[in-house]
């Protein structure tokens, strides 16, 4: 084995990563160009809205409810070290609205939706259904990608709005039943320290995360190959890529929204 | 008339088409035969623009397929895919009427459904299957639905990709007969790729043999058995010995 083999391996992997970034950037640009040009498939958009938004509600609700409850317990325990137990309601609401609601909601949607889109579109690819769409004068990007990306961009903020509320309710439930907070005081503290930008920033993050989730699902689905194994690989890659991009973009958006 | 002129296509180092020359006159049924992996599907997909050739030209009625308006161009074609390629999320009639429900050939929903059911009847399926999903159908029925979808918009040119793959001999015979009847009835230009010799004899007016990325022989189906071409001879008689290497 050549002594340069490890360097060559690093070089190959770097080239591979850069090529993948380039392909995703081209796919992103193509998606945007198809979003602004007719025809628009409203029925497919409606179906995607239902699948991505409505059917993801239970998993997002459960995740945020338990996270809100755990957050209240943690802040109470941590705050007790310097007599700051009273900040539980405000920190739970700020934490849920700005950070945990969007990120955990986005990650749960990535797990549920990016995988399902990649598997569905990937199966269509390997069974020649995408070719069939083309022969039937229908562009796969317009028929499959655009409705899903638009639906996710709209549905995920809505899911996060509901998830934020449920997460805050989870904190309230634990605060009142386990930590002996007065119900009215808890609610007053929650509302008093909440700012509209806390809500808006979380929803904007949700829109970006929704776009990423659907884009990754469609990209890996449309590029899957070699039968069932290829579809499995596409599904895994879509979830991993969507999750990593959600976490990375969350940092960038937080810098953008909240850095002084 | 479809013309392929010196068409080359490679995938990496794998040279699939190495100068394909072929002419399919209007209204004729051309069957392309050849072993697995010889580039039959690539040739067919190149005509439709699903695969872009590296060099050479493909014309349909004198128009270069890379320079035509795609929607109008594709509206002239119907295609039956090897595995049917039916859309799982749509019912049978929505599959058949797909082209009639959107795009330049769009019709009212009721009319599209009526046409879809008529086409289903034409391929021997009862109207009751119209509201089923593809997964609820047998392989033979899926092929028929695929055939109904291919002819739904009355195309001038129909492509059949391995139409009998995965079917039992009787169902293969039924599909072959249906294809022949429909092509004659519609006066369509047909291009079929297959390695099923019973399909060749049932469907073809002319046959072309693709091997090593080039057309080795082409001629009327009646001349096939006495062609004198060693490649064609070995292929149609299924011999292990001959110029075509058989991997054991």
Per-residue confidence (pLDDT) for residue A179, from 0 to 100: 92
Handedness of CA B143, B149, B152, B155 (dihedral sign): negative
Tell me phi and psi for residue B172, to 5 degrees.
-60, -45
Per-residue confidence (pLDDT) for residue A260, from 0 to 100: 63
A227/B contact by beta carbon, under 8 A? no
Q: Where are the domains of chain B?
A: 29-53+66-237
Summarised one tens digit per residue, pLDDT across range A86-133 is 889 999 999 999 999 999 999 999 999 999 999 999 999 999 999 999
Provide the residue-wise pLDDT of chain B in tens; the chain has 248 residues.
Answer: 899 999 999 998 888 999 999 999 988 999 999 888 888 889 999 999 888 999 999 999 888 888 888 888 888 899 999 888 999 999 999 999 999 998 778 889 999 999 999 999 888 889 999 999 999 998 888 988 998 999 898 899 999 998 888 788 888 888 888 888 888 888 889 999 988 888 898 899 999 999 888 998 899 988 888 878 888 888 888 888 778 776 55
Higher per-residue confidence, A227 vs A197: A197
Burial of B56 (0-12, 13-18, 19+ CB in 10 A): middle
| Chain A residues in contact with B85 (beta carbon < 8 A) | 127-129, 131-132
**Alpha carbon distance A152, B123 (integer Å):** 40
- Residue A119, min C-alpha distance to chain B (Å): 13
**Alpha carbon distance A238, A233 (integer Å):** 8
Give ipTM to 2 decimals.
0.86
Per-residue confidence (pLDDT) for residue B247, from 0 to 100: 57
B133/A contact by beta carbon, under 8 A? no
3-state SS assignment for residue B201:
helix
Handedness of CA B12, B18, B24, B30 (dihedral sign): negative
Taking a C-beta distance cutoff of 8 angstroms, is the pair A222, A180 a contact?
no
- Residue A3, min C-alpha distance to chain B (Å): 28
B221/A contact by beta carbon, under 8 A? no
- Residue B239, min C-alpha distance to chain A (Å): 30
Summarised one tens digit per residue, pLDDT across range A135-178 is 998 999 999 999 999 999 999 999 999 999 999 999 999 999 99
A131/B contact by beta carbon, under 8 A? yes
Summarised one tens digit per residue, pLDDT across range A29-84 is 999 999 999 888 999 999 999 999 999 999 999 999 999 999 999 999 998 888 88
B47/A contact by beta carbon, under 8 A? no
B79/A contact by beta carbon, under 8 A? yes
**Alpha carbon distance A78, B214 (integer Å):** 76
The yes-or-no verdict on residue A26 having pLDDT over 70 is yes
Q: Which CATH architecture has domain B29-53+66-237?
A: 3-Layer(aba) Sandwich (3.40)
- Residue B192, min C-alpha distance to chain A (Å): 16
CA B201 vs. chain centroid, Å, equals: 15
B79, B83, B105 ranked by CB distance to A135: nearest:
B79
| Chain B residues in contact with A127 (beta carbon < 8 A) | 83, 85
Per-residue confidence (pLDDT) for residue A38, from 0 to 100: 87
Taking a C-beta distance cutoff of 8 angstroms, is the pair B130, B113 a contact?
yes
């Amino acid at each position: 084995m050549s002594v340069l083999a490890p360097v060559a391996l690093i070089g190959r992997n770097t080239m591979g990563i850069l090529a993948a970034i380039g392909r995703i950037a081209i796919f992103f640009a193509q998606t945007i160009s198809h979003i602004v040009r007719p025809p628009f498939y409203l029925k497919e958009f409606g179906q995607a809205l239902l699948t991505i938004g409505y059917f993801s509600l239970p998993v997002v609700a459960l995740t945020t409810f338990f996270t809100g409850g755990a957050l209240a317990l943690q802040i109470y325990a941590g705050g007790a070290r310097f007599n700051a137990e009273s900040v539980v309601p405000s920190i739970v609401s700020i934490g849920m609205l700005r950070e945990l609601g969007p990120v955990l909601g986005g990650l749960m949607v990535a797990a549920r939706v990016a995988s399902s889109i990649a598997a569905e579109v990937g199966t269509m690819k390997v069974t020649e259904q995408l070719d069939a769409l083309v022969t039937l004068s229908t562009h796969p990007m317009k028929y499959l990608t655009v409705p899903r990306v638009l639906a996710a961009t709209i549905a995920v903020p809505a899911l996060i709005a509901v998830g934020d509320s449920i997460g805050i309710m989870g904190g309230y439930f634990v605060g009142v039943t386990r930590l002996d907070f007065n119900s009215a005081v808890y609610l007053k503290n929650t509302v008093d320290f909440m700012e509209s930008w806390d809500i808006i920033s979380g929803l904007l993050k949700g829109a970006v995360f929704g776009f990423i989730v659907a884009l990754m699902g469609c990209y890996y689905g449309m590029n899957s190959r070699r039968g069932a194994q290829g579809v499995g690989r596409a599904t895994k890659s879509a979830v991993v890529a969507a999750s990593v991009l959600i976490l990375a973009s969350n940092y960038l958006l937080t810098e953008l929204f909240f850095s002084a | 008339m479809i013309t392929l002129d010196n068409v080359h296509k490679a995938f990496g180092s794998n040279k699939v088409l190495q100068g394909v020359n072929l002419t399919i006159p209007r209204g004729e049924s051309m069957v392309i035969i050849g072993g697995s992996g010889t580039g039959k599907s690539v040739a067919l997909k190149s005509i439709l623009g699903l695969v872009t050739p590296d060099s050479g030209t493909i014309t349909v009625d004198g128009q270069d397929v890379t320079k035509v308006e795609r929607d109008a161009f594709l509206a002239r074609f119907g295609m039956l895919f090897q595995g049917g390629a039916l859309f799982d999320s749509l019912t049978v009639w929505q599959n058949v009427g797909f082209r009639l429900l959107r795009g330049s050939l769009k019709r009212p929903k009721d009319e599209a459904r009526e046409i879809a059911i008529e086409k289903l009847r034409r391929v021997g399926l009862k109207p009751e299957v119209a509201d089923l999903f593809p997964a609820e159908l047998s392989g033979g029925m899926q092929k028929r639905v695929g055939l109904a979808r291919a002819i739904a918009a009355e195309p001038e040119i129909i492509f059949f990709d391995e139409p009998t793959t995965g079917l039992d001999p009787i169902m293969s015979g039924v599909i072959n007969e249906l294809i022949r009847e429909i092509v004659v009835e519609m006066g369509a230009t047909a291009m079929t790729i297959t390695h099923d010799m019973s399909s060749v004899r049932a469907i073809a007016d002319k046959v072309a043999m693709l091997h090593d990325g080039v057309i080795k022989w082409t001629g009327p189906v009646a001349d096939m058995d006495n062609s004198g071409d060693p490649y064609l001879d070995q292929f149609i008689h299924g011999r292990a010995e001959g110029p075509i290497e058989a991997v054991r």
